[in-house]
Amino acid sequence: MHQTQAYISSNKKRFLDELLDLLSIPSISADSSYNEHVEKCAKKLSKNLRKIGLSNVEIYSTAGHPIVYGEKIIDPKLPTVLIYGHYDVQPADPLDLWDSDPFNPVIRKTQLHPEGAIFARGACDDKGQMFMHVKAVEAMIASEELKCNVKFMIEGEEEVGSENLAIFVKNQKELLDADIILVSDTGMLANDVPSITTGLRGLSYVEVEVTGPNRDLHSGLYGGCVANPINILCDMISQLQNKDLSISIPGFYDQVINLSMEERNEMSKAPFSHDAYCKSIDINDTHGEKDFSTMERGSIRPTLDVNGIWGGYTGEGAKTVIPSKAYAKISMRLVPNQDPEEITRLFCDHFVSIAPDGVRVRVTPHHGGEPAVTPVDSTGYQAASYAYEKSFGKKPIPVRSGGSIPIIAMFEKELGLKTVLMGFGLDSDAIHSPNEHYGLFNFYKGIETIPYFFESFSQLSK
């Protein structure tokens, strides 16, 4: 990859300018008044894909925003890497908290980015990270060092749920035929601590309603005699966890694939400061399932959190009421190989079963999402690991993320493909927040790292 790296080195300025150009388009997918900008961004992107030498470049329209596609087929017999990314961005509100115009990108130095960072909406999520792949592929094509096929699928609705992408993927299985999916839409631990996200948690989300008497009652006259829906709801929520803070729903852990000690040992190498963690959110201690570290609790273990609760009198002062109803929103983060629908069913059955006489319970499921995992012994992970080691000079740490990206599971289900998550962002990059930025170091390092992935993946897939 000498030619490729040399090409990258001598085109850095232009790569940056092209990214800044993309960032100046307010391609906000959630707000229909920006529709023409979203379309403009898709067009500019497709033009760039054509310019770097891809064929079959096309803007596929959907019921929502279009999907940009392009490919470079060296030889149908060679392995194919499908690159996924998105060109749409989050809204920029609240605008007054930005130090500069979110769609007029500027470079400023920060403590974590002494070489400078690009401040703009979408800088990290995901235009900056997606565009690294476009430029890395350009460099490989120009240097004639691309040793496998590559396909790009860049959508415009990631920030609004990727509904039309799911339809596109179902309908275009032949077009999207590949050996691995490569995505840069996550982060790494630090600029000197490369890491690869090997897992994402799934999600089951329910709303519960506990009904006691058919009307609000006076707590003096009825207090002590009837089941108070709030007390009952609290009691039922409390019962959902055991003393060791594991989850008490029967069957909840049945499908969980426990990590090997080797994998856990590998994970534990990630730098983690308990004190810094607590200090950053002003708590005096962490709190979680017995016998697991904080990093593990937040990634390889399923959880149960109440996201909202309400019932009775919540105004100023005191009112002595026993309310008729109490409500809560409860979500469970799931790990491989838990099935969200199955978990939701287990929750419903259990929750209804622990309701005492005197109340009625209703559970309403909200959306869910499947967990995803990239085994560290897979070809994709090995290739990514090689790539990071080559460009950073040290082996990356496999990291399980606590969050959920449901499309990753959808890719696996529809296309039968594993995804490698080569993220280069930092947690401090303020994605979805004012002053989103992306380090120049990260942008260039990403472009330099990606070709090594292609190199290794071609080799290992032989």
Ranges within 103-122 binding its own copies (CB under 8 A): none
CB of 188 to its own copies, least distance (A): 15
- State the binding string over 188-217 for its own copies (x if CB under 8 A, else -): -------------x-x-x-x----xxxx-x
Q: How far is the CB of 226 from its own copies (least distance, A)?
A: 6
Among 63, 305, 377, 393, interactor with its own copies by CB under 8 A: 305
Q: Which stretch binds its own copies (CB under 8 A): 45-53, 142-150, 373-381, 402-410?
A: 402-410
Helix 127-142 to helix 2-23 angle (10° resolution) is 140
Q: For residues 225-254, which are near its own copies according to CB under 8 A?
A: 225-228, 230-231, 233-235, 237-239, 241
Report the residue number, 8 or 206, with the smaller CB distance to its own copies. 206
Nearest-angstrom CA–CA distance, 321 and 409 = 46
CA-nearest of 283, 273, 124 to 193 is: 273
Binder among 47, 109, 269, 367 for its own copies (CB under 8 A): 367
- Least separation in angstroms between residue 253's CB and its own copies is 14
DSSP code for 439: E
Binding flag, residue 318, its own copies (CB under 8 A): yes
Note whether 286 binds its own copies by CB under 8 A.
yes
| 281 is a site residue for its own copies (CB under 8 A) | yes
Listed ranges 15-23, 72-80, 158-166, 353-361: which one lies at the site for its own copies (CB under 8 A):
353-361
State in Å, rounded, how far the first CA of the chain is from the last one.
18
At its nearest, how many Å lie between its own copies and the CB of residue 51? 37
- Write the DSSP assignment of 82-126 as a string of letters: EEEEE--B----SGGG-SS-TTS-EEE--SS-TT-EEESTTTTTT
- Is 30 a binding residue for its own copies by CB under 8 A? The answer is no
> Closer to its own copies at the Cβ: 70 or 212?
212
Our CB check for its own copies shows the closer of 55 and 353 to be: 353
CA-derived radius of gyration, the chain: 25
Q: How far is CA 220 from CA 14, 142, 232, 235, 284, in A?
A: 75, 81, 18, 22, 39
In the list 307, 337, 353, 433, the residue contacting its own copies (rule: CB under 8 A) is 307
Q: Of the ranges 154-162, 166-174, 301-309, 411-419, which one interacts with its own copies (CB under 8 A)?
A: 301-309
219-227 long-range Cβ contacts below 8 angstroms, 24+ apart: 219/320, 219/321, 219/322, 220/320, 222/322, 223/320, 223/322, 226/322, 226/358, 227/356, 227/357, 227/358, 227/359
Number of residues engaging its own copies in binding (CB under 8 A):
78
54 sits in the region (left: phi over 0; alpha: psi -120 to 50; else beta) called beta
**Residue 319 binds its own copies, judged by CB under 8 A:** yes
357 binds its own copies (CB under 8 A): yes
Residue 210: HSE in the Cβ half-sphere, 13 Å Cα cutoff: 30
Query: Token digits for 213?
Result: 């008497």
Rule CB under 8 A: say whether 288 interacts with its own copies: yes
Among 96, 262, 285, 291, the residue binding its own copies under the rule CB under 8 A is: 285
Closest among 183, 182, 178, 181 to 79, alpha carbons compared: 178
